[in-house]
Structure 1
Amino acid sequence: MKFKINKILGFALISGALLSGCSKDFFNRVPSTSVTTASYYQTDAQLMAATAPLYGTPWFGFNNKCGWAMTEITGGNMRTWSSDISMFGSLPVSNANTEERTLWNSPFTVVAQCNALINNIATANTSGVSEAALNNALGEAHLMRAVAYFYLVRTFGNLPLIENTSDFLNNSDSVPTRSIPDVYKFIVRDLKYAEANCSVGVAATGHGSSGSASAMLSKVYLYMQNYDSARIEAEKVINSGEFALMDNFGDLFRGNNNNNKESILAMQWISNGGYDYGNSIQASWAYSSAITQTGDGYGSAAPTIDLVRAFEKEGGDTVRRHYTIMLPGEYYSELNSSAGGYTLPTNASSQGTQAQAKKYVIGGPNDPDNSSYGTAAQAGGNNTYIMRYADVLLIAAEAILGQEAKPASGKGIDTSASTSDATALKYYNMVRKRAGAGQVKSFTYRELLNERRLEFALEMDYWFDLGRVDGFKATTTTNGIQTAAHPVGRALIAQQERGTYANGYPDQSVIYSSKLTVSDNEFYFQVPANEVASDPNLTASPVPYDFTW
């Protein structure tokens, strides 16, 4: 399982069908009949086109439902009555659940496609392709493999590390898992490679850049509580000038603003490809078909009372709230624009919380947000952010706080720890200023976590924040269940109001309260049952990974 990470000048063809297909099997169970037509890549442009699918369809399953069901519903930002995902709001989620399986399958499909690109790289005749293009293609594959593993390790903990699926043709039933620290070490290695090999300043094309890799590194280091490295990587991105905050928060979620100056890395969708190629979030979240104009708009998940209250407590944060959460009677000129705009009905409460989602809800095919990219039934052309520049700013601010707080190994920053460092405040207040929130002269770790919640609500991030507040650590595996102490995370979740209002708007006097008590062993989801049946080692204690190349 050794792979020397050097600049390799060979390249092999990965067929469009291989890259775009979304297999349901664990890590795609190695495409044993890989296409190796040696004469396909004649130009740099053809090679660049081959990496484009790594940002699209393999991510569809994660983006379609399970990703936001876990991060937003389990995290307490959304609630649902939908029977296929309602258990994400109550826990535990059965490892036989279809969406739980997709949490595993979709990112591992990305891993498989990246591996195919990397490991077939030496077999093609690429005499017409520049070395820079070849290095960049390899860099993108390492970048997206790291991203996929970053989602996976935060979801499942211990994982198998697969660099070449051909290594497991004869022993796919005995692949071991690796510890959380080993998986993070693997991710860092991939991101450093991507940082060194990806092209500079190309994120606006929809492809990851060297700066994208640096930004991802800053986030990974933050999770590892390596605050010095997190700050170095974050400020490298800040000082590069490649990215900047969009002036208006709402502009981040307009389809016509895909790959804007704030977008560091994003899942890329096309509406004219239909289901499996377009962004399906709007279909689930939009309150009604009056918004989408394509027959969907199911309101199948909606913001929790707790999230609405979090915005209300912030007071002046009305801009960010408006473009994240729709409240009854609120008007949006960009939706159903041909009819003069859209006002959310006062009886809108699809999940009993008197609120609906706005973020990623972009309207119908003829609305102004969609003139370039369009939308179709269950398929929007708007990107899904993996990371944006506001995250880098808050990472840098948190890293400075972490440098000052110096938490013990395996312990999170005390939520009452604060900083008034001028640089940290600069970064923190830049995000708040754009949101319309007041500028502060100091902030605590609890306040920073809340700032992250409000900034990235409904962007598939919050559950991961709740899972890391107790520090970076390995888990203990007992009878296939992974456990690590999460006292602060459990306390934050226990305080959330996940219930519904008893009466219609504007009556909020009576709440059918619902709170969630999370066990330490529920911060990581179980390996899907079908995968364990195929490979019992997936629930065994992890085996050290050989990092010698």
Structure 2
Amino acid sequence: MKRKINKILGFALLSGALLTGCSKRFFDRVPGTSVTTGTYYQTDAQLMAATAPLYGTPWFGFNNKCGWAMTEITGGNMRTWSSDISMFGSLPVSNANTEERTLWNSPFTVVAQCNALINNIANANTSAVTPSALSNALGEAHLMRGVAYFYLVRTFGNVPLIENTSDFLDNFDSVPTRSIPDVYKFIVRDLKFAEANCTPGVASTGHGSSGSASAMLAKVYLYMQNYDSARIEAEKVINSGEFALMDNFGDLFRGNNNNNKESILAMQWISNGGYDYGNSIQASWAYSNAITQTGDGYGSAAPTIDLVRAFEKEGGDTVRRHYTIMLPGEHYAELNANSGGYTLPLSASSQGTQAQPKKYVIGAPSDPDNSLYGTAAQAGGNNTYIMRYADVLLIEAEAILGQQAKPAAGKGIDTSASTSDATAVKYYNMVRKRAGAGQVKSFTYRDLLGERRLEFALEMDYWFDLGRVDGFKATTTSNGMQTAPHPVGRALIAQQERGTYENTYPDKSVLYSSHLTVADNEFYFLVPANEATSDPKLLEAPVPYDFTW
């Protein structure tokens, strides 16, 4: 029965045994540094070590493929011919699809391990641990649980809320979902706890800080259209001085720059741990083994023609485009550096778009940029951003615009709404200046959405932006499906060019045009079939959550 619970909702329990090997059944995994109750926590360092896995292996499934397949391929920034994820570009994605199941499995594994750590600390003898270390560990667990649920609610809508696995030992086949507003309320509660308990100023260590929690709160409030609170939290982060923009956009994605001054929260990877422990994005995205020199570099996804055109339309945005998208003939001195750099071949067009990804493509083990954290076959040592400081600046700008536009409840900001507020324009321009784009005196909501797209392209964010532009949606039918209208989101997607060129660069004379029409109920993915079979309650209307604790 306990094993079945692990299978259903990812309620993996912390144990004294360390599971290793190549299993990809992420629900059944335990943390890389498992802990036991009783007298384990004898020092502050031991307690800090227990929180480290919350940033790594449990996220592997999401980071490996399904996270970017949903956010970037479904969102229209990338395309692929790979049969296991090509349906993310056409919709709907079958609820029997392996990667669709991993969208559920991986974040719920994070939830499970956060819960286990929280409950484990409550039962352990922590008399030898300082109160500050204890508070921080609990804060980190609440932080990462809130982050995991933020991914889950934006992906699936209403989902189960779990704080203690043992509560469901006797009814594992009848666990209900909770409404979208309840899930957001739960997330806010977790992040407020983290804000109050995490240590300030420690994000540079790879652990979440109090400021990391404030930044995540700002983003969550923005999604909820609580612009006043989003602005308050964003300004906490801005005024703290803990974070700042990197001077050079490209430096954000160099292998040696993990946990830099712009990194607010990130998935932490280790190259020497191999598959499951390293960052596997480069293996999928790099155009060829000539870049990685580790036997991978499959070129299995590439930027869409539409994303390339979005950068071209911006015009002056050459710096940001260069470090986001490779174009044929373009040279990168930091790749294959010991041999004079790497030039993308003129024939490069692995997915028919005459472009290849550059973000998260960090090069070979011998490249100087990888000297600190390394890179290996399907296992880079570079972090994956969950949130960085540029996001906080754009959240502040959007919150000000939202305060001025005052959209009705459940309605998005009108895309033509504009602001010339000095603070909003200041932070908007800071992001643009670093990108190499021109400065402006005002901007519209459509401009801001476009700015977010270019700034965070290929960083697993854009699909979520498309899902929220029509406002905070909480409508659920009797069968659990989300059916709220998304007219602006659907229109933005319908305009995207998702097709391919017949020939390679520079011949763009023959375009096989392709566009995607999205239904309102496709902005949320289906509950995986195996989960729904085990627990039919997952397909029923959500049940109110009891927040009394």
| TM-score when normalising by structure 2 | 0.95
Aligned to 2:192: 192
Q: 1:13, 1:41 within 8 Å by CA — same for their partners in 2?
A: no
Letter in 2 for 1:254: R
The answer as to whether partners of 1:139 and 1:194 remain within 8 angstroms in 2 is yes
Counterpart in the other structure of 1:9? none
Distance 2:297 2:136 in 1: 39
Residue 348 of structure 1 is matched in structure 2 by 348
Deviation at 1:20, TM superposition (A): 11
Q: 1:514 to 1:78 in 2, by over 3 A?
A: same
For 1:501 and 1:166, the matched residues in 2 are separated by: 55
Q: Distance in 2 between matches of 1:49 and 1:137?
A: 9
Alignment of 1:145-544 (within 5 A): 145-544=145-544
Q: Secondary structure at the match of 2:72?
A: helix
* Equivalence for 1:4: none
The answer as to whether partners of 2:412 and 2:469 remain within 8 angstroms in 1 is yes
Provide the rounded CA distance (Å) in 1 between the counterparts of 2:323 and 2:413: 31
Change (3 A) 1:57 1:20: farther
Instruction: Tell me the distance in 2 between the aligned counterparts of 1:369 and 1:25.
Output: 31
1:122, distance to aligned residue in structure 2 (A): 2.0
Cα distance 1:320–1:16, how it changes in 2: closer, same or farther (>3 A)? farther
| Cα contact 1:30–1:166 (8 A) shared by 2 | no
Q: Point out where structure 2 has 5 or more consecutive residues left out of the alignment.
A: 1-12
Q: CA deviation at 1:449?
A: 0.2
Residue identity matched to 2:285: W
Q: Counterpart of 1:110 in structure 2: which amino acid? A: V
What is the identity, as a one-letter code, of the residue corresponding to 2:524? Y
Letter in 2 for 1:377: A
Are the aligned partners of 1:283 and 1:378 in contact in 2 as well (CA < 8 Å)?
A: yes
Matching residue's letter, 1:161: L
Q: Is the 8 A contact 2:493 2:516 kept in 1?
A: yes
Contact 2:479/2:541 (CA < 8 Å) preserved in 1? no
Structure 2 CA distance for aligned equivalents of residues 274 and 59 of structure 1: 15
Q: CA deviation at 1:406?
A: 0.1
Quick one: distance in 2 between partners of 1:18 and 1:154? 30
Distance 1:521 1:22, change over 3 A: farther
| Deviation by residue 1:250-271 (Cα, 9 ceiling, x = unmatched) | 0000110000000000000000
State the percentage of identical aligned residues. Answer: 88
SS of the aligned residue for 1:255 comes to coil
How far apart, CA to CA, are the structure 1 residues paired with 2:197 and 2:399? 26
Tell me, yes or no, if structure 1 residue 70 matches structure 2 residue 70. Answer: yes
The answer to whether the Cα contact below 8 Å between 2:54 and 2:114 also exists between their aligned partners in 1 is yes
Distance change (3 Å), C-alpha of 1:21 and 1:177? farther
Match of 2:4 in 1: none
Match of 1:142 in 2: 142
| Separation of aligned partners in 2, 1:357 and 1:395 | 26
SS in 1 for 2:234: helix
- Distance apart, 1:503 and its partner CA: 1.7
1:17 aligns with 2:18: yes
Distance (whole Å) between structure 1 residues aligned to residue 20 and residue 216 of structure 2: 23
Q: Is the 8 A contact 1:153 1:180 kept in 2?
A: yes
Does structure 1 retain, via aligned residues, the 8 Å contact 2:30–2:113?
A: no
Provide the residue aligned with 1:7 in structure 2.
none
Superposition pairs of residues 30-69 of structure 1, within 5 angstroms:
36-69=36-69
Q: CA deviation at 1:37?
A: 4.0
**What is the letter of the counterpart of residue 338 of structure 2?**
S
Q: How many angstroms apart in 2 are the aligned matches of 1:22 and 1:120? A: 25
Secondary structure at the aligned position of 1:266 is classed as: strand
Residue pair 1:14, 1:116 contacting (<8 A) in 2 also:
no
What is aligned with 1:88?
Answer: 88
Q: Does structure 1 retain, via aligned residues, the 8 Å contact 2:26–2:58?
A: no
Return the alpha-carbon distance in structure 1 between the equivalents of residues 23 and 229 of structure 2: 35
Q: CA deviation at 1:127?
A: 1.9
Partner residue in 1 for 2:7 = none
Counterpart Cα distance in 2 of 1:152 and 1:373: 30
- CA deviations over 1:92-112 (Å, ceiling 9, x no partner): 000000000000000000000
Quote how far apart the aligned CAs of 1:123 are: 1.9
CA contact (8 A) 2:43 2:128 kept: yes
Question: Relative to structure 1, is the Cα distance of residues 252 and 16 closer, same or farther in structure 2, using a 3 angstrom cutoff?
Answer: farther
What SS does the aligned partner of 1:440 have?
coil
**Do 1:20 and 1:56's aligned partners in 2 also have CA atoms closer than 8 Å?**
no
Indicate if the aligned counterparts of 1:29 and 1:165 stay in contact, CA closer than 8 A: no
* Contact 2:158–2:480 (CA under 8 A) maintained in structure 1: no
Per-residue CA shift, 1:191-219, capped at 9, x if unaligned? 00000000010000000000000000000
- Take 2:402 and 2:309, find their aligned partners in 1: how far apart are those partners? 28
In structure 2, what is the Cα distance between the partners aligned to 1:19 and 1:417? 53
Name the aligned partner's letter for residue 222 of structure 2.
L
Q: In the TM superposition, what whole-angstrom CA distance separates every residue of 1:441-497 from its partner, at most 9, and x where no partner exists?
A: 000000000000000000000000000000002122254432111000000000000
Amino acid in the other structure paired with 2:284: S
1:502 deviation in Å? 1.6
TM-score, L = length of structure 1: 0.95
Answer whether contact 2:326 2:355 (CA < 8 A) is retained: yes
Q: Do the aligned partners of residues 231 and 21 (structure 1) sit closer, same or farther apart at CA in structure 2, a change above 3 Å counting?
A: farther
Q: Distance in 1 between matches of 2:136 and 2:408?
A: 39
Residues in 2 aligned to 1:370 and 1:409: alpha-carbon distance in whole angstroms:
48
Q: How many residues align?
A: 535
Question: Residue 495 of structure 1 contacts residue 515 of structure 1 at CA under 8 Å; is this kept in 2?
Answer: yes
Conserved? CA contact 2:283–2:297, under 8 Å:
yes
Contact kept? 2:203, 2:264, Cα under 8 Å: yes
> Measured at CA, do residues 191 and 414 of structure 1 come closer, stay the same or move farther in structure 2, by a change above 3 Å?
same
Is the 8 Å Cα contact of residues 157 and 475 (structure 1) preserved in structure 2? no
Deviation at 1:377, TM superposition (A): 0.2
Is the CA contact (8 Å cut-off) linking 2:14 and 2:116 kept in structure 1?
Answer: no
Per-residue deviation, residues 20-40 of structure 1 (Å, max 9, x unmatched) = 9988476x6999xx9644222
Q: Secondary structure at the match of 2:122?
A: coil
- Residue type at the aligned position of 1:166: S
Cα distance, 1:399–1:21 mapped onto 2, change above 3 Å = farther
RMSD: 1.8
Partners in 1 of 2:119 and 2:41 — Cα distance? 16
Partner Cα distance (2:371, 2:327) in 1: 26
Do the aligned residues in 2 keep the contact of 1:467 with 1:523 (CA within 8 Å)? yes
Could you tell me whether the CA contact under 8 Å between 1:198 and 1:210 is conserved in 2?
yes
Q: Structure 2 counterpart of 1:485, which letter?
A: P
**Amino acid of the structure 1 residue aligned with 2:68:** W
Q: Secondary structure at the match of 1:120?
A: helix
